[in-house]
Structure 1
Amino acid sequence: MLEGLLHHKKEIKQYFLALAITEDRIDGALWEKDGQGKVNIAATASENYTASDWETAIIAADKVISSLEPNVPEGVDLQKSVFGFFPEWVSEDKIKSEYLKKIKQLTSRLSLTPLGFVDIPQAVSMYLGSSEGSSQTVILIGFESKHYTMSLFKIGKLIGSYAFNRSENIVSDIEKALNKFADVEVLPSRMLLYGTAVDLEKIKADLLNYPWQTKANFLHFPKIEILPNDTVVKAVVIASSTEIALPVEKSEDMVESVADNTAVSASGVSDQGESQEVADIAQDLGFVGEEPVKDLNIENEMTEVEKQQNANIAPVTIPENKLSGKARSSFAGQIPSMPKFSFPKLTFTIKLPAFRKSGLIVLIIGLLILMAGGVYAFNWFYPQANVKLLVTPKSLLINEDVALDTASSTVDVDKKIIPGSEVKLEVTGTDKIITTGKKTVGDKARGEVTIYNKTVNPKTLKKGTQIQTGNLKFTLDEDVSIASASENVGSLNYGSNKIAVTATDIGTSSNVGSGTEFSVADLPTGYYSGRNEKVFTGGTSREISVVARDDQKKLREQLLQKLQQQAGDEVKSKLENGKKLLDGSLTTQIAKETYNKEIGEETDSLSLDMSVGATALTYSQNDLDELLSKIVSAQSPVNYDYQKEKTKVSVTETLKPEGSKQMFKLQIEATLAPKVEIGDLANTITDKNCQDAISFIKNKFNIAGAECSINRSFFLFKDKLPTNPKNIQIEFSNL
């Protein structure tokens, strides 16, 4: 019996190709959409191409499709395609003629059936809104190798989009582009970069180093981020999916009733209808057709081979179609005709107990009352909605001298004093570095020299007397006595004596050869001289690593810094709940330090053991919050509230202590939100639809905007806010 009542529909899935085409890269995505409208992106791929050579673009697209095809189910042809272009490719919602010809060549060569295209910036905005769950207030900047596109959105609405040529100074380019939005009172404080340019990281770094608050209408320094590489093609998929509807496929048990007796294809659409639909879409997109696009005759510009390839490709154009709250897209408006169908007739026979006429009326009335009560109760308790009021905050920068007093137990708002406590501990550690000092060591050369006395008087030279040859110096190892010279017939015999000598310096240079002449220090060479008969030996030298004074200094500073960080971490780990460490209050003193080597000693590395005593000041976060609230409130403009959770506080300078008080300079970056007295707003907007509620709120309150979303609704009133005001959540959000 159940089999006769239930007709199971086969799951309908269609597979599509998305191509985001820019001037230097092609991104592709394989995606599917089922009968319930669920979209799944099965795979993505991308390929670069040479901007000046469209043939390389077709090859790149072919590679992208080849990368995606392994994910396509067997028997399915990947032909139906959607495209994404930057605004410079489009004019008045139509592809420019110079680009239209290129797209026609690509779709013809690759046997693709084009369905339509989307504007990339608006598609990205729609994708972000879908993935982040709220309408976007953002500046989108899409970069290509030669161009960039800047688009500004506020609460999902496109304020403006402009394309520009890139120059060498991209920061200057962006500043000039922002001038296009000079009439926007406050620019969004979020700037997202995306696209195919290879230098996005460098662009981001340059933008982060630029003083935007002084150069454009930014309330805060903008948050600048780079979107993932596949964002563009995923955005094309999401934007396109909203425009593509699937046909209904009949079940085997369904009673067929097709008015025009058209044969139904496997996809649920008549072969004739599908053919006509593609032709209609192609005609609209404006690639080619029975009547060529105005001012562009592609057929005349193609070779005979290209014309033959294009013979079975349906032409395409894009009708104007602006989506409310979505990315503007151009898709054929025709949907395949659905075959008519009917369900089997069912006959029920129910025997009811006999009632008197009056009793039956009472029963019916009772049932109606019960049903009405159930409907009312369900409509009261079940629906839920969220209304968000968007306000423009103000920033307030305050610098104050504040004291932390370890002798105090309460906050003194007038004197700007908060109570504190002192924490002491000791930390130890070891560290080492590679030594940088160098030293030459070795042995001194030794030898024997004969000293000659050319005078008529004997001479005694003391131990240590220097003799010299060139720049090399040697000293006598012992005292030596040299006899005087003696006369002989016709000649003079010099007095002489041999003595051992040692070089004054180390090194091989003192290993002098035999027959070297020497002079005696402080004595005339005409009276005294020396000569060696044998080569001097033993002189050696080598360079070694030793501890330099700077090595000890560097290691000391390095280890002390580590121990200071360790001391701060240990203080924080021991803090009680709600306690904070005062920035800049941590002081340290070295208690003990021991090096493994002294200055000048030979070693490749130097190690140090150190003990450090640390003292720090802590305070209660609640005490500081109490003081901040008073300080900020006293300086806030009228009709603005202090937002504690969005306030940043930092210690800019720690001053000298005064007894039990530690003085410090505090910088407060406070965020103020305008006061909006909404009163009993929830009661006022019950049973209104979202659009009427937003219009009412904007007219009544001084706010920047409003957002409304119905989370759960009663099917009879699915577009209305709940009847029960307690089920309408109202919250504030800063732009």
Structure 2
Amino acid sequence: MELKNLLTKFKSKEESKEYFLALEIGDESVKAAVWMVNQGQTEVVRFSSIQSLENSTQEQILLAADKTISEISEGLNPEPTGVIFGLPESWLEHETINPDKKNWLKTICQELELKPLGYVASISALVKYLKLEEGSPLTAILIQLNSAEIVLTLVKLGKIIGTEIVGRSGDLGPDLEEGLSRFKNIDALPSRMILFDSKNDFEDEKQQLISYDWEEKLPFIHFPKVEVLSESISIKAISLAGGSEVAKSLGFEIIETKTKLKNQPTKAEPESVNLEFSPEDLALQTKSVNLEAKADLEPELKTKPKFNFNLTLIQLIKSKISSIKISSNSKILMLVGGLATIIFLFLSLYWYLLKADITIILEPQILEKQLSLNLIGQPEEISVSGSKTIPTTGKKIVGSPAKGEVVIYNKTSQTKTFNQNTIVVGPNNLTFVLDQDTTVASRSASDDGYVFGKAEAKITARNIGTESNLPAGTNLSFKQFSEDDYYLKVLSGLTGGSAEEVRVVSQEDQDNLILQLTQELTSRAQVEFEARKQGDRSLVPVADIDKLTSKRFSHNINEQADNLSLEAKLVYTTISYSQSDLQQKALAAIQDQIPAGYELSPDSNLEIVSAKLNKNNTADLKLNYRAKLIPRLDVEAIKKQLLGRYPSKVETYLSSLPNFLSAEIIIKPQVLPEPLKTLPHLTKNIKLEIKSE
């Protein structure tokens, strides 16, 4: 993305510091930043606060731009005037700025005394910035949330496939489904969603997307990952990604140290994208506006870093020689001979010391298999001890029963003895028992009728709690006898009943503590094994071999306690195996299913699902094997094809390799003039690594 500018004679190098502005105009907000070029790199100096727009009128945007620029320009010397604009997609038509919006920008520049340096589509700047940050072209769904609408941008391998705008309802999942369904001829959507806008809190929206059933609704290979960008990321992208292009057009030396090479389509040219304008187009002049679209037809990722050299070594020698006065033919011969020697030595060093590291990424074929293997290993026994404490979660009611004295009345003509523990019933079905055997005399005759027999006795409530604390005079009865024959009355009141809830040890507490301590001690045993192992050996994760022994709890079940501790010893008995041996066995098991011309990538994943130890130091394993198969390439032949080529010429050749996705090329030393920045001329100086995605 090159930002064209007509101010080619700008003398930035003569000033110690030169500040520039970036102004992002959105549909609902305006942001600004101050940036500068420092040691060949663009960097952001300040961010403004975000100015919200009640409506997107020219007056509102001018007022918001004035506030943001005034805020971040305060105290800067010199005060920045050059500005790069970041514009929304709604402002662009046919790769240029909408004529009405162009007039708005002219007014902003005139009113705020700004010098326009260029413009960039905010989405395009964000795509380039994320590519620079992550080291590879972006593949994702960009989701820009406004109050009334959603802007969806589909990006694959750093190329914007298209943009759709949908209205926003209360349910974000169906809104996105509607927008994404408008993209036609898409075999698979990127499994990465990126939310961004002028706010930080996207938690509600993120949860809506995470809970939506994407794989059932749209062609996703697997459930998409949802990410959230900070509110300042878009203006930062405009400042750094867009600003670097403006800086180059102003004459700054921008250093590019390392680039990744990406496979490009061969059947269609990339779309032409207009990401620039001339400052004259915004000047208040009567001449016609000339916005010239520039097709970005170069490969998206080039491996030619740009270096700015004033003189090459040969030019320097030539200039020195030209300043020497030659007085004789012999001196000329000596100088020519010396120059030839220097050139020979330089070229020799260049020829033998030039090196390159190349990493080729291939798209793999995936072969997933479930395997059953028998593995021979070495016996291993590791003993570790430890302790752990957790809070208890059990609950229990504790307290005392109510006690007191009662009078037992006998209405019958027979003496009655009530045995100890005879059940007495009170109000609300409260129950008590006699503390001892009690005999009550029979009734007796009197002038007024009968006098009931009576006797005092002590009773105790059968349950704890304050409910059994009864006042004096309360009538009670026997559970087994009628009140017409016998009844009881509380003398001075029943007291002492109490109850409270306390924490106790539960069975679940002990089980959880055993599990947690087992996991900790198992991890310690594995760490101890890692410290003493040799080579590529690993432990077989056999189930039920990590039982705790010598367990000692600090409290028993149902015992009152706030915390529970456990001291125990674990004896980890298993076998160790060689990872390379396991890989070889797994490879042999699927060898006949590997297509001709393919080989197993080292990035394949082998997972042990379960294992059973045998008595002869072997284990029966069940494994999930996710084998990545890549084309078998002749590394030496590829090196020969790359000898002496410029990185820009390498792309066509690498793109022809089967299943090619991308490549990364690093040429050393990096401080070489462009004409000499080729790949090495000796195959031994090229380090070539082939990986799968």
* TM-score, length basis structure 2: 0.76
Residue by residue over 1:419-461, the C-alpha shift from the partner in whole angstroms, topping out at 9 and shown as x without a partner, is: 3434242434232323432224224231241634453x55555
| Offset at residue 657 of structure 1 (A) | 5.2
| Offset at residue 714 of structure 1 (A) | 5.7
Match of residue 607 from structure 2:
650
Match of residue 494 from structure 1:
451
Match of residue 271 from structure 2:
none
Contact 1:121–1:151 (CA<8 Å) still a contact in 2? Answer: no
Correspondence list, 1:619-638, <5 A: 619-638=577-596
The code of the aligned residue for 1:547 comes to: V
Q: 1:81 to 1:545 in 2, by over 3 A?
A: same
| Offset at residue 320 of structure 1 (A) | 2.2
SS of the residue corresponding to residue 574 of structure 1 reads helix
Correspondence list, 1:438-587, <5 A: 438-449=396-407, 451-455=409-413, 457-462=414-419, 464-465=421-422, 468=425, 470=427, 471-472=429-430, 473=432, 475=434, 477-486=436-445, 488=447, 491-494=448-451, 496-505=453-462, 506-519=464-477, 522-529=480-487, 531=489, 534-545=491-502, 547=504, 551-575=506-530, 576-577=533-534, 578-585=536-543, 587=545
Match of residue 627 from structure 2:
670
Match of residue 18 from structure 2:
14
| Offset at residue 232 of structure 1 (A) | 2.2
The code of the aligned residue for 1:284 comes to: D
SS of the residue corresponding to residue 242 of structure 1 reads helix
1:43 is the counterpart of 2:16: no
Residue by residue over 1:306-355, the C-alpha shift from the partner in whole angstroms, topping out at 9 and shown as x without a partner, is: xxxxxxxxxxx854234455999xxxxxxxxxxxxxxxxx9999677x75
The code of the aligned residue for 2:362 comes to: V
Q: 1: CA distance between counterparts of 2:524 and 2:97?
A: 61
SS of the residue corresponding to residue 294 of structure 2 reads coil
Residue 241 of structure 1: which of 233, 240, 244 is its match?
244
Q: 1:91 to 1:206 in 2, by over 3 A?
A: same
Match of residue 79 from structure 1:
81
Q: 2: CA distance between counterparts of 1:16 and 1:542?
A: 76
The code of the aligned residue for 1:28 comes to: A
Residue 376 of structure 1: which of 343, 347, 360 is its match?
347
Contact 2:466–2:499 (CA<8 Å) still a contact in 1? Answer: no
Q: 1: CA distance between counterparts of 2:480 and 2:671?
A: 116
Q: 1:654 to 1:714 in 2, by over 3 A?
A: closer
Correspondence list, 1:293-308, <5 A: none
The code of the aligned residue for 1:363 comes to: M
1:397 is the counterpart of 2:368: yes
Residue by residue over 1:240-266, the C-alpha shift from the partner in whole angstroms, topping out at 9 and shown as x without a partner, is: 3323468789xxxxxxxxxxxxxxxxx
Match of residue 231 from structure 1:
233
Contact 2:425–2:478 (CA<8 Å) still a contact in 1? Answer: yes
Correspondence list, 1:353-372, <5 A: 357=329, 359-360=330-331, 362-363=333-334, 365-372=336-343
Q: 1:570 to 1:447 in 2, by over 3 A?
A: same
The code of the aligned residue for 2:242 comes to: A
Contact 1:93–1:318 (CA<8 Å) still a contact in 2? Answer: no
Contact 2:635–2:688 (CA<8 Å) still a contact in 1? Answer: no
SS of the residue corresponding to residue 442 of structure 1 reads strand
The percent of aligned pairs where both chains have the same amino acid is: 22
| Offset at residue 388 of structure 1 (A) | 5.3
Q: 2: CA distance between counterparts of 1:634 and 1:37?
A: 55
* TM-score, length basis structure 1: 0.72
The code of the aligned residue for 1:27 comes to: K
Correspondence list, 1:63-78, <5 A: 63-70=67-74, 72-73=76-77, 76-78=78-80
SS of the residue corresponding to residue 676 of structure 1 reads coil
Q: 2: CA distance between counterparts of 1:372 and 1:45?
A: 55
1:284 is the counterpart of 2:255: no
Match of residue 293 from structure 2:
320
| Offset at residue 694 of structure 1 (A) | 2.9
Larger Rg belongs to: 1
Q: 2: CA distance between counterparts of 1:197 and 1:449?
A: 79
Correspondence list, 1:27-42, <5 A: 27-33=31-37, 38-42=41-45
Give unmatched runs, 5+ long, in structure 2.
Answer: 1-12, 253-276, 302-319
The code of the aligned residue for 1:42 comes to: V
Q: 1:24 to 1:474 in 2, by over 3 A?
A: same
SS of the residue corresponding to residue 387 of structure 2 reads strand
Q: 2: CA distance between counterparts of 1:486 and 1:480?
A: 19
Contact 1:118–1:327 (CA<8 Å) still a contact in 2? Answer: no
Q: 2: CA distance between counterparts of 1:721 and 1:476?
A: 105
The code of the aligned residue for 2:44 comes to: I
Which has the higher mean CA deviation after the structures are superposed, 111-120 or 367-376?
Answer: 367-376
The code of the aligned residue for 2:521 comes to: Q
| Offset at residue 16 of structure 1 (A) | 0.9
Match of residue 161 from structure 2:
160
1:24 is the counterpart of 2:28: yes
Q: 2: CA distance between counterparts of 1:218 and 1:521?
A: 74
Q: 2: CA distance between counterparts of 1:213 and 1:484?
A: 89
Q: 2: CA distance between counterparts of 1:706 and 1:511?
A: 86
Contact 1:144–1:197 (CA<8 Å) still a contact in 2? Answer: no
Contact 2:680–2:686 (CA<8 Å) still a contact in 1? Answer: yes
| Offset at residue 96 of structure 1 (A) | 2.8
Q: 1:669 to 1:511 in 2, by over 3 A?
A: closer
Residue by residue over 1:282-329, the C-alpha shift from the partner in whole angstroms, topping out at 9 and shown as x without a partner, is: 55148x643698xxxxxxxxxxxxxxxxxxxxxxx854234455999x
Contact 1:654–1:663 (CA<8 Å) still a contact in 2? Answer: yes
Contact 1:124–1:235 (CA<8 Å) still a contact in 2? Answer: yes
1:437 is the counterpart of 2:438: no
Residue by residue over 1:205-230, the C-alpha shift from the partner in whole angstroms, topping out at 9 and shown as x without a partner, is: 66667787887777787776545543
| Offset at residue 517 of structure 1 (A) | 4.5
Q: 1:25 to 1:476 in 2, by over 3 A?
A: same
| Offset at residue 614 of structure 1 (A) | 3.6
| Offset at residue 584 of structure 1 (A) | 4.5
Give unmatched runs, 5+ long, in structure 1.
Answer: 1-8, 250-279, 294-316, 329-345, 406-418
Contact 1:431–1:609 (CA<8 Å) still a contact in 2? Answer: no
The code of the aligned residue for 1:695 comes to: T
Contact 2:420–2:433 (CA<8 Å) still a contact in 1? Answer: no
Q: 1: CA distance between counterparts of 2:483 and 2:217?
A: 85
The code of the aligned residue for 1:677 comes to: D
Match of residue 273 from structure 1:
none
Computed over aligned residues only, the root mean square deviation of the Cα atoms, in angstroms, reads 4.4
Q: 2: CA distance between counterparts of 1:371 and 1:465?
A: 122
Q: 2: CA distance between counterparts of 1:653 and 1:627?
A: 17
SS of the residue corresponding to residue 375 of structure 2 reads strand
Q: 1:599 to 1:245 in 2, by over 3 A?
A: closer
SS of the residue corresponding to residue 625 of structure 2 reads strand
Bigger relative contact order (CA 8 A; separation at least 6): 2
The code of the aligned residue for 1:445 comes to: K
Matched residue count: 628
Contact 1:119–1:327 (CA<8 Å) still a contact in 2? Answer: no
Residue 96 of structure 2: which of 94, 97, 107 is its match?
94
| Offset at residue 68 of structure 1 (A) | 2.1
